[in-house]
Amino acid sequence: MTGTTNDERLMYAAPSSFVDSSFFVELSRLKLNVLKLDTSYQQIVGYYNYNSLSQNQNPALNLRDSSLKSISDLTEVLPKHSYFLSNGKLLNVNSVEEFKNLNKKDLLTELAMTIFNGIKDESFLSNPQLLSSFTILSYCDLKNYSFYYWFAFPQFQSNWLKIDMSHSINYRFDRSQSFTEQFYILNETDDELIPISKLLDYSSIDKCKILFVDTCSLEYTVSFILRNFLFALSYYNFKNVEFQVLKVNHPSFNFTINLENEDYNSGIFDNPSYIPPISGWERTSRGKLGPKVADLGALIDPLQLANQAIDLNLQLMKWRLVPELNLLSVKNSKVLILGSGTLGSYIGRCLLAWGVRKITFVDNGKVSFSNPVRQPLYNYEDCLNGGSSKAETAAVNMKKIFPLVDATGHSLHIPMIGHPIKDEEKEFNDYNKLLKLYEEHDAVFLCLDSREARWLPTLLGNAMDKIVINSALGFESYLVMRHGCIDSKKGINEQVDGRLGCYFCNDIVAPKNSMTDRTLDQMCTVTRPGVALMASSLATELFVSILQTPNGNYSKHIVNDRSNILGSLPHQIRGFLHNFEILKVSSDNFKYCTACSVKVVEEFQNSGWEFIKKSLNEETYLENLTGLKAFHERAERAAFIMDDYDDESGLEDNID
C-alpha cells in the first residue's frame, strides 16, 4: 500500500442534479390538476447511480416523472443493482416573486434539522437514506412552459482529518454483487458486510471499519453524503474510523479518519437549540449559488404543448372559482353539430375552448363568399371554385386550430317534414347516416336553417336519449333551449307528462314547408351580426351546465339556484337586442307535440323509416297520429258553443 501525508483534509464531491424533461411534464400535470394553489411539501424520490459512472463524475441526483409518484413506480423503470434511492421534498410555490423572496437559509436549516433529529433519535440507522435527503424549491410557469428550480442538499460542515490512506481496499468486491445501502460495517477480516443498523454496537471499539459504496468517480474524493455520516459518527462518540471507499468500475481507496474535532466537542450536542454549521444549496455550472431554469417550450412536441395549453385555462377554473367542476365529462363528450353555418361555426369554436375533443359537423351546403365574415371556420380560399363542402371544411379548419381534435364532417341532406320524398334511396341513406351519427354521439346541437329541418333531429334526440340543444335566430332576437327527454329507464307506456318541452311543443299544427316562395331576404339569415355569437355561447354554456348536474338531461328548469355548480339551468333563454333583455322561461311538453309526444316516439321506435316516410309524404299523418287534429276539432266545437252560449262550464265540458 502506498500511503499519503498524515493530517490531510478529506475532499468531498459536491452533488449535482440531473432532471429529466419527463419530470417537468409530470410536475406541470400535478400542479395543474392536483396541487393547484397548494404549497405544502410534496414527497419525491430520486436516485444516484453507482454502477455506471463516467470518468471524473460528481454524485448526480437523478429525477424523472416517476419520482413524483411512488418508490415502486420509480424502481420499476430503473435497471436493477445500479442505484441508491434518496428521499426528498418538493416545495412548489405559486409565483416567481415567492420563489425569489423565500428565505433560503431557513429552508435549508429546516431540512438539515430533520436529518439532525433523525441522527439523535437513531432513526437514520434503519433509514440511512435520511442522510442524503434533499429539497427542491420550484416555480412552474405553465403558460410559457418554463420551470425554475433550486436543489438543496444539506451537509454538516467539519474539519476532520484523514490520518492514513491507501490506493486500494481489502474488501473483495464481486462484480455480480449488488448493494441496497451505501454504508456497511465490515468485520475484522473484511469479508462480511454487517447492516449499518448495528452501528452503535461498534462505538466503543478502537477502530470501526466501514464500507462506503460511493456515487462519485473522482479520484481520492468522496460523495458529500459521507459528511453527514461522519457527523452521525461524531455524535455517537466514534473516534477513529477506517473507511474502505468502493467505487464500482473506478479506482477505490482506503482511509482512516480522526473524529475528535473541536467543532463538535463533548457537550455541544447537549444544547437542545444547537444548530450545526450547514451548507448545501446547489451551485450553477458557473460555480455560483443560484437556481436553474428549464425552458421546455422548444423541446416538447408542439402537439403536446397545444394539448396542455388548451387544458390550462380550464383547469385554472378549478383552482379557486369552481373546484367541483367536472371537466372530464365535458372533454369526453362526443358532440354532433347539425348545421355548419354561423351558429354551428361559433358553437364548434366554443366547444373547442371547453376542451371537447370529438366534434362532428353535418351540412349539405357549400361555402359561399358571404360566409367567411360571419362564420369563423371558413376563409376566402374556401369559397373558390364553387365553394368547398361546409361540413368537411369546418372539420379541416378545426384541425388547423387544434390538430388533436377529432373533427369530422359529413355532407348529407336531413329529411324534412313537409317535404315529400323525391329520391327515396338517397333520403333513406341520409336517414341511416344520421341515425348512425346519433348512435355515436352524446349531444346534438341543432343549428339548421329551417324549422322543418329540425323535426327529425328533435325526434331522434328524444327517442335515443341524447342531449339536444336548439338555437334559432331572428333579426334582433335569439332562442336557445334544451329539449326535454323521455326517460329511457321507463317503458313507453310509463312515460308521464311534465317533462320539458321541445322546439315544436308550442306548435298547434304539424310543421309545413317554409322554404317555397321566399324572397331573398327570407332565404338568407338576416340578423344583427352579434346575435349569433350570443346564441352560440349561451348554447355551449347551457350544454356544459347540463353535464355538471346529477340529473343531466332530465334536469328541471332551474333559475337562481346555486345548488348547481354553474348556477342556473334554464329550459329556454330568449334574448332581445332592441332592449338588450334576456328572459329565462320554461314550458312543459305538449301532449300532442308532433316531434316529442309519446305516440310519435313509440311509432318511430316500432316502425323506423316507414314512419318517417309516411310523416314526410302524408301532410295530415302526424296530426292524426298525435291527436292534434282531434284537438283542433274539439277547440272548434268549443268556439262554436261560445258563440251560442256565454257559459264557461259549457266550455269546460267540451274541451278535455
Question: What is the C-alpha end-to-end distance of the chain, expressed in Å?
Answer: 114
Strand 16-19 to 8-9 pairing? unpaired
Q: DSSP letter at 2?
A: -
Report residue 253: phi and psi, to 5°: -155, 170
Task: Determine the residue type at 114.
Answer: T
Helix, strand, coil shares of the chain, percent, nearest 5, are: 35, 20, 40
E-strand spans in 175-329? 183-186, 193-195, 207-213, 222-223, 240-246, 253-258, 278-281, 292-295
Q: Are 407 and 423 in contact (CB under 8 A)?
A: no
E-strand spans in 232-387? 240-246, 253-258, 278-281, 292-295, 334-338, 358-363
For 34-69, give one letter per residue: b (16+ CB within 10 A) or e: ebbeeeeebebbbbbbbbebeeebbbbbbbbbbbbe
Neighbouring residues of 545: CB distance < 8 A, sequence distance ≥ 6: 564, 566, 567, 568, 569
In the residue annotation, 524 being an active-site residue is answered as yes
Angle at 76 between CA 73 and CA 79, to 5 degrees: 140
CA distances in angstroms from 557 to 281, 560, 585, listed in the order given: 60, 10, 8
H or E segment to which residue 146 belongs: strand 146-156
Q: Distance (Å, rounded) from C-alpha 254 to C-alpha 244?
A: 4
Neighbouring residues of 430: CB distance < 8 A, sequence distance ≥ 6: 412, 413, 414, 415
Q: Are 410 and 387 in contact (CB under 8 A)?
A: no
Name the residue with cell 411539501: 41
CA distances in angstroms from 447 to 336, 339, 539, 560, 570, listed in the order given: 10, 5, 10, 28, 19
Q: Distance (Å, rounded) from C-alpha 450 to C-alpha 470?
A: 12
Q: Are 183 and 128 in contact (CB under 8 A)?
A: yes
Q: Distance (Å, rounded) from C-alpha 545 to C-alpha 573?
A: 13
Q: DSSP letter at 414?
A: P
Between helix 609-617 and helix 424-440 the angle, nearest 10°, is 130
Q: Distance (Å, rounded) from C-alpha 355 to C-alpha 532?
A: 21
Closest CA to 203 of 249, 239, 150, 252: 239
What SS3 state is found at 313?
helix
Active-site pick, 140, 524, 593, 596: 524
Neighbouring residues of 628: CB distance < 8 A, sequence distance ≥ 6: 508, 509, 510, 592, 594, 622
The residues annotated with a catalytic role in the active site are 524
